[in-house]
Each structure stands twice: as structure tokens, then as C-alpha cells.
Amino acid sequence: MSQKSEIQAQITGIADEIEKIVGTDEEPNEVTEEQQQELNELNEQLDVLTTQLSELRAEEERANLRQVADDARKFATASERKTSPNKTGVRIGRIREAIEDDPQRGFKSFAHFATEVFDAGNTPRSNEKLMKVAAGTGMQQSITADGGVFVPPAFSRSIWDRVLVQSNSMLQYCDRIPVDMGVESVTVPAINETSRADGSRGGGIQGYWKSELTQLTSSKPTFREVKLTPQELYVFAYISDKLLRNAPGTASRVLEDQAASEISFKIGDAVVNGDGVGKPIGFVGHASTVSVAKETGQAAATVVRKNLTKMRNRMHPNWQGGAVWFVNPDVMVALEDMVIEVGTGGIPVYMPPGGLSESPYSMLYGKPVIPIEYCAALGTVGDIVYANLMAYATAIKGMVDSNYSMHLKFDFAQTAYRLIFEMDGQPWLNSAITAYKGSTTRSPIVTLATRS
């Protein structure tokens, strides 16, 4: 019998003895002086036992509250695996380790992680920290079949952040659609609009002015499907164990910076020039992109003022707001030499803000001029682009999947570093849009035809 039960039994026994002495309300007894003394003693015992019982109940309540709080904490950090109720009724699952909530998995820096991989040599499974890198990510293990080690999510996230903020990043301008892991592709409905004429805007949505007592006329939009299937883009590099051993901080910085730069470069080039074969469909040459013809008699490898005026005119008015100029760096020279002839002199068409002493970004028709490597050589279609890339859809699966291994080049004293990034992209429109008034076609992406 528990202490609580024993005290309860004693209290019940004392209460029975008191009732025998004093009787009931219906049949009270006469109490003698000797019985009164006994009652006083029984009441003292009852007070002591009641106090003990209250203390036990209070402690029990505190223990229950501690258990509920502990279970709630475990429940909040438990994995989403099948659970079962505990004694308090709260359903909890596998208890997470604290390291699972640390995106760096206990490593102070990427250099610290790289050093641990190097020190583990051929036996990465002997390193407890490396074994826990995959904790909380949904992956079953941190060590791959060939002995590679997954990079902790904080450092993969760091690489992804660098991809976005690279000066040459095109993703920052595009419409980005996240794709869940495990999903092969995403199909998004898009308005099938090819003209701004009545009955064609918005794929067929039409408004009417209503006369009194007339029936409403219906309209129905048409849609088309835009299917995006993320393709794998990878960087696979080796770094010497000597550098990793002697300068892990430098090694990690080089790897992160150069890997992020290369991923950003390949994405940018695909967004502009991609052929759609195992990679995104680029906007240069796409059916929805408008290409402005060169001027009659225009010299090869030149850009003239009328080119810019006509390109701006072919930008769809609804997309003017976020439009920018993307140019090959060589185009910058042509822009700076461009003038409007006035008599025997001329007025500069383009000048960086504040003159030649300032940079970026220079402005043209009030829009930023951004030099990028992906634009074609001067004089070739794609060397200058006027675009609002929110009209370009990208599907991005996760972040950057990183993996580290010293096994592949063990006999060369080199450590392998692999990153995989999955994305796809294509313009939202499938054709240029004919104007509401006139027959001019316009687009959110405008290029200048080849001048040769």
C-alpha cells in the first residue's frame, strides 16, 4: 500500500472513532470529560494526517505538471513517425537529439566540418558528429554508400544564399516556384493570351457595359499548361588534402565561393540561352520573345539610338514596371559613344549617373543597365535585352545538396566535393502579344536582331 493510501486509511479510521464518540446528527451522544480528551487527541492526529495528505497531493500534482511539460517538449520536437500514447495521454514519438535542431550539426564552421571529414579518413562512420549530419533531414543516414558525407544544412543553405546574391545571378530577377522534394515536376496553369483584342485578353475574359434590362453576356478564359521538371545541375571538384589540412578556412571559403559562383553562372546562362535539353529553355530565340530588326544600312556590331527606342516600344506596357536592360559588357562602350546629333555636335544618349565617376547601375530610359556575361557578343541577337523576368518561370527543388568524400581520390591525397542543384525554367508566355490598337506585337522580353 502506498503512503497516500495508508494516510487515507488512517484518516478514515480516526473519523469512525470520532463518530462513535460523538454519535450522529440524528442521534448525538453525551460526551464525558475523558471522551473529550480522547477527541482532542484524535483531532490532533487528524490534523497531522490531513496536512501530510495535502503535501502528498501537492507533490503529486507538481510531478504530473512536470511530466506533462516534459511530454509536451518531447512531442514538439518529435519526428513525424508513428506515435503511441504515454501514461499522461500525450502522444509522443522518437525523442529528438539536440543536435537535430542545430542546422550546423555541432560544427562551428564549414572549415571545422571539412577538417572532421579529413581526420575521419577511411572510417567516417567512426565519427559520431559525421554520423549525425543527416539527423532531422528525413535522410536515413549521413554517410553515403561510397563513404561520402552529407554537408550540414546550414552550410548548404549558405551556398544557396550565395547563389542568389551573386552579382551575375539571374534567379533574383525571375519568378521562382518552389518544388517539394520527391516531386518530379510541377504543372502550372497559365492564361493563354496572344492578343489584347476584345475577346482575347486574359485568354478570353471580356467585360461589357450593361444597358438597362439586358441579359449579362458570359465569357470564359482559356488556359494552357506550363510544365516544369527540375533538372540536375552539379559541381564536382577535388581539393588537395594538404590545403585542407593546412588551411581549412581558406579551403572552405574557396569551395563555397567558387561553387556558388559556378552554379549561379550555369543557371544564368541557361535562363538566357538554354536549349531545353536537360536544362531550362532560355528566352533568347523563344517564341514569346520579340526581336527588333536592325536599321537599314546599320553597320555590323553596332547599337544605335533607334534600336533602343524601338526595343522600348516593343516592351508590353503591363510589364514595363520591372523591366531592366541586360547587356554584354562590350555593349556598354557602344552605349557610351552614342549621341543625338544636333547641328555639328551632339548630346550623349547614355551616361552613367553622376558622370563617369559613378557605377552601378547606369540608367537607360529610367531603367537599370546591367552587364552580364550571358548576353551574346556585340552585334549578335541577345547582346542587348530589355526584359521583365517575372515573365520567366523557374521551378526550384530544395536548396543545394552537398556531399563531401575523401575516398574517390584517396590515393591522390585529394578530397572530393559535390554539389547538386535541381531547377527548370521557361518563359510564362508561349507567343508575343498583338496590341489592342494596331498590329504591333509586344512582349515582356525584347531583343535586338543580329547586325552583320
Upper half-sphere CA count for residue 128 (Cβ side, 13 Å): 3
Q: What is the 3-state secondary structure (H, E, C) of 334-349?
A: HHHCCEEEECCEEEEC
pLDDT, averaged across the chain: 76
Measured CA to CA, the distance from residue 446 to residue 283 in angstroms comes to: 9
Establish if 358 belongs to a structural domain.
yes
Residue 21 identity (one-letter amino acid): I
- H/E segment holding residue 91: strand 91-92
Above 60 in pLDDT, residue 161?
no
Domain that holds residue 363: 277-402+425-448
Tell me what the mean pLDDT of segment 232-245 comes to: 76
Q: How many Cα atoms sit within 13 Å of 200 on the Cβ side?
A: 9
**Is 335 within the bounds of a domain?**
yes
Nearest Cα residue to 403 out of 128, 102, 159: 159
Mean pLDDT of 334-338: 84
pLDDT at 145: 40
For the ranges 230-244, 257-271, 292-306, the one whose mean pLDDT is highest: 292-306
DSSP code per residue over 379-423: TSTTSEEEE-GGGEEEEEEEEEEEEEESSTTGGGTEEEEEEEEEE
Instruction: Answer whether 379's CB lies under 8 Å from 439's CB.
Output: no
Look at residue 58 and tell me if it is in a domain: no
Whether 223 is in a domain gets the answer no
Model pLDDT for residues 388-415, shown as the tens digit of each residue: 999 999 998 876 666 656 444 445 556 6
What digits encode the pLDDT tens for the residues 195-213?
A: 999 988 888 888 999 888 8
Q: With bands split at pLDDT 50, 70 and 90, how would you rate the model's confidence at 108?
A: low
Residue 27 has a pLDDT of 77
* pLDDT score of 197: 92
Which residue's C-alpha cell is 484518516? 11
Does the residue 438 lie in any domain?
Answer: yes
Q: What is the pLDDT of residues 56-103, one digit of tens each?
A: 777 777 776 676 666 556 555 544 444 444 444 444 444 444 444 555
Residue 243 lies in a domain: no
Q: Of the segments 248-252, 346-350, 395-399, 416-420, which one has the largest average pLDDT value?
A: 395-399
**Predicted local distance difference test score (pLDDT) of residue 424:** 95
pLDDT digits 0-9 by tens, 264-302: 899 999 999 999 999 999 999 999 999 999 999 999 999
- pLDDT at site 95: 41
pLDDT at 215 over 80: yes
List residues bridging with 213 in a β-sheet. Answer: none
* DSSP string for residues in 45-77: HHHHHHHHHHHHHHHHHHHHHHHHHHHHHHHHH
Q: Is the pLDDT of residue 429 over 90?
A: yes
- Overall domain count for the chain: 1
Say what angle helices 153-165 and 110-120 make with each other, to 10 degrees.
Answer: 130
Give the bridge partners for 236, in sequence order: 418
What does the pLDDT average to over 352-359?
Answer: 60
The C-alpha cell 494526517 sits at: 49
Grade residue 23 by pLDDT with cuts at 50, 70 and 90: confident
Q: Supply 262's cell numbers.
A: 559556378
Handedness of CA 370, 371, 374, 377 (dihedral sign): positive
Q: Measuring CA to CA, how many Å separate 15 from each of 9, 22, 195, 249, 420?
A: 10, 11, 95, 78, 78
The average pLDDT across 34-50 equals: 83
Q: In this structure, what C-alpha cell is assigned to residue 324?
A: 531592366
In-domain check, residue 209: no
Contact (CB, 8 A) for 193 and 413: no
pLDDT score recorded for residue 135: 39
Residue 229 placed within a domain: no
pLDDT of 408 reads 46
pLDDT at 311 over 90: yes
For cell 539610338, name the residue. 305
